[in-house]
Chain A
Amino acid sequence: MVPLKITPAYHRALVLAASIFFLSSIYLCSTRLLNNKAMTPDHITTPAKATSTKPVFLNDADLPMSYGGYDRPPLTGLTLIGVIPPEYIPTPKNKRRLVVVGDIHGMDSALDALLKEANFNEETDHLVSVGDMVSKGPDSPAVVARLMQLNASAVRGNHEDRLLLARSNLDAMHGVTADQETPHMQHRKGKSEDVAMARTLDKEQLDWLAALPVILTAEPLPLLVVHAGLVPGVELGSQDPWAVMNMRTLAYPREELRKKAMESPRRRDTSEVDGLGDMVSGEDKLQGEYEAVRENADPSRATFDRAVVVPLETRTGEQWTIGWDRHQEGLKEDQRRTIIYGHDAKEGFKEGKYTLGLDSGCVKGNSLTAAIIEATSNTAFKYTTVQVACTPP
């Protein structure tokens, strides 16, 4: 073994190397670290620069998630999607009109007045209801009779849904539950009003209501009719009927979980944006296309934490119409759909870019509103509105 001998020359070299190391450390520290905005007090909450060596921690907000990817068995006796018969769809040629009316709630005289106000003509016009035709108001059977007589289209609202379920529960009842069923029991189960309402309608009327779909399409017009709302980004066949009849706002579960984990929002994950992931790795000519789509893309979808949406009945989330409008902007023009809905008397008559809310609170003594749809081309429409004042029951 050769003993290590530190000659003066070796010593000088060592000191030089140490000095260079020391000085470059000071230089790098002051230029890199101190100039890093993340380290300055103003940005103290933003995370330090992510490098490949920095450990990444996963939390619940990073889990794979979907809403609408389920395969739930259908609800018995409920039709999800229906169509407005093609012969009633307005075109520039046939000059027909769709008269879409908000929540009627048994207010037959108001409906009568509204039809007069709209110069409703059975020959050229087709009446469409956004649901909640029955309950609360004075004359639900007359409203249903009038809609049937006019051969109207309609969607199932939450009030029709409850009433029809209460009735089908009664029909299916046998054995023990039938023995135990009393008006008192119905009251305790919150079903009294629905059962009473079902009794005022005849079988034909109940059957007509029961056949109504939850979503109405108006192909080839880019128009949908529902009672409460739709979840953006979920195809029609996967929309949850309970949500379509009851929703008011949207929640973003990943955002909630991210907050809980005390992390700042995770913004982009291109793989989550439909089709964009493939384009990123594509050829150069695709790259341009990708940029174009990205500019247009719905910012909520491109944001990892907002990619998964859950509908809520409560008002605790973001208004669903805002989310819907934003989502449409990111779609190609021929895929955008305008939704006409009711349900939310508190928000009242409300025009969004791709949404139109018609529940102006007639049964509360406000007004009954209809949108009159006319075609501007075979695949586009315009609308005007008419309103009549309602006398509270």
Chain B
Amino acid sequence: MASLTSLFTALLAFFSVAQAMPALATGAPSHLEPRRIAAQAKYFWEPTGSLARLHYDIRYFKEEVPYDEHRLVLRDLIRSYLGVLDAHGAETWLAHGTLLGWWWNGQVMPWDYDLDVQVSNDTLQWLGDNMNRTEHAFDGTSLVDGAERPATKTYLLDVNPHHSDLTRGDGANVIDARWIDMQTGLFIDITGVREREESRPGVWSCKNYHRYDARQLWPLRPTVFEGVPALVPYSYQDILTDEYGHKSIVAEEWEHHRWEAQTKQWILMSQDEENERKDQAKELKAQDLALQEEEQEQEQVS
């Protein structure tokens, strides 16, 4: 028993040191320092301090965007991105949590920190060759004293120089490009999919090994997201349940939000409301269990 405990402590110590190591080795990222020091130097950097902060680009981060504004910022992000890519005829489609938001009500889920889209590696190459580091103005909406006001925003398309790497490497550069809100630092992760493994023709994947059959993705389906034209994969339900399980397309409570059937919106719950709902659910379950017991007893009597 004692040896087990000491082994556990040793493991803990090892992992904490191992985690701290890269930070020690590379130091804090800075605008002024050249970034491409080593082959696997991380290209995109995020501030630290909270989970939410990992979803800001460090170059444009000022402060965490409050809850009420967050949705507006993400909505303008995706609208501007889809508009600009369509203007150039570049094919892109919704992925991961953003696709899940479309599944429920065609909107960004209010607890989503960032947005996810995918492109083919050819499109990614074209973006890198032709549009890298371009800035784009967009007529969006800002919250001024609690009221929505028109605002011109600027976005940056930034392609990771590691975008054409075949493998995941050490995982520092799995995001191939970003569409960044230069006002807040919030962004869309753009990942390229390609036929990555020689042994699997017809199987497309991103660097993080999310795999798709070509016929799950194409032909893409035109639809609408956040009020603008968007594309989703052909077998959208399969792609969602492969990644997140059957639960993801039916559960009506996520991250302190509940699905409101009347308005078809995700509503943020207060801690009290959450507790209340939990108590109610517990009571219902207790009733069900008691009923079941009763039935079982009756069965046994007869």
* Chain A residues in the interface with B (C-beta under 8 A): 37, 46-47, 49-52, 54, 56, 58, 60, 62-67, 69-77, 162, 165-166, 168-169, 172-180, 185, 188-191, 194, 240, 242-243, 246, 251, 253, 256-257, 266-269, 271, 304, 308, 310-311, 313
Question: Is B213 interfacial (CB-CB < 8 Å)?
Answer: yes
In this complex, the member of B225, B249, B261 whose beta carbon has the largest number of chain A beta carbons within 10 angstroms is B249
Chain B residues positioned under 8 Å from A266 (CB to CB): 285, 288-289, 292
With A76-B224, A191-B218 known to touch, is A63 a contact of B102 (CB < 8 Å)? no
Chain B residues positioned under 8 Å from A172 (CB to CB): 222
Give the residue name and chain of the B residue nearest to A77 (CB): B222
Taking a contact as CB atoms closer than 8 A, the residue among A62, A67, A176, A191 that contacts B90 in the complex is: A176
- Check B251 against A60 for contact (C-beta < 8 Å): yes
Question: Is B247 interfacial (CB-CB < 8 Å)?
Answer: yes
- Check B126 against A180 for contact (C-beta < 8 Å): yes
Taking a contact as CB atoms closer than 8 A, the residue among B106, B249, B282 that contacts A71 in the complex is: B106
- Check A63 against B251 for contact (C-beta < 8 Å): yes
With A37-B300, A257-B247 known to touch, is A243 a contact of B237 (CB < 8 Å)? yes
Distance in angstroms between the alpha carbons of A189 and B220 in the assembled complex:
10
- Check A62 against B281 for contact (C-beta < 8 Å): yes
Count of residues in B whose CB is under 8 Å from the partner chain: 65
In this complex, the member of B87, B234, B246, B282 whose beta carbon has the largest number of chain A beta carbons within 10 angstroms is B246
Least distance between B300 CB and chain A CB atoms (Å):
6
Least distance between A201 CB and chain B CB atoms (Å):
16
Q: Which 5 residue pairs across A and B have the least CB separation, nearest first?
A: A175-B89, A71-B264, A190-B214, A165-B219, A50-B289
Taking a contact as CB atoms closer than 8 A, the residue among A58, A242, A310 that contacts B236 in the complex is: A242
- Check B236 against A267 for contact (C-beta < 8 Å): no
Question: Is B286 interfacial (CB-CB < 8 Å)?
Answer: yes
Residues 99-130 of B, flagged 1 when their CB comes within 8 A of A and 0 if not, give 00011111000000000000010110010000
Question: Is B154 interfacial (CB-CB < 8 Å)?
Answer: no
In this complex, the member of B214, B235, B251 whose beta carbon has the largest number of chain A beta carbons within 10 angstroms is B251
- Check A75 against B103 for contact (C-beta < 8 Å): no
With A73-B223, A75-B222, A304-B288 known to touch, is A65 a contact of B250 (CB < 8 Å)? yes
Chain B residues positioned under 8 Å from A72 (CB to CB): 102-106, 223
Chain B residues positioned under 8 Å from A175 (CB to CB): 87-90
- Check A189 against B195 for contact (C-beta < 8 Å): no
Taking a contact as CB atoms closer than 8 A, the residue among B88, B195, B219, B259 that contacts A188 in the complex is: B195
Distance in angstroms between the alpha carbons of A67 and B252 in the assembled complex:
10
Distance in angstroms between the alpha carbons of A253 and B120 in the assembled complex:
32
Chain B residues positioned under 8 Å from A76 (CB to CB): 221-224, 229
Provide 24 A-B residue pairs closer than 8 Å at the C-beta atoms, listed in order of the A residue: A50-B286, A50-B290, A56-B283, A60-B251, A62-B285, A69-B252, A69-B261, A73-B223, A165-B219, A168-B222, A172-B222, A176-B88, A176-B90, A177-B89, A177-B123, A179-B89, A188-B202, A189-B120, A190-B202, A251-B246, A257-B247, A267-B295, A308-B250, A313-B238
Distance in angstroms between the alpha carbons of A188 and B297 in the assembled complex:
62
Question: Is B276 interfacial (CB-CB < 8 Å)?
Answer: no
Chain A residues positioned under 8 Å from B246 (CB to CB): 251, 253, 256, 310
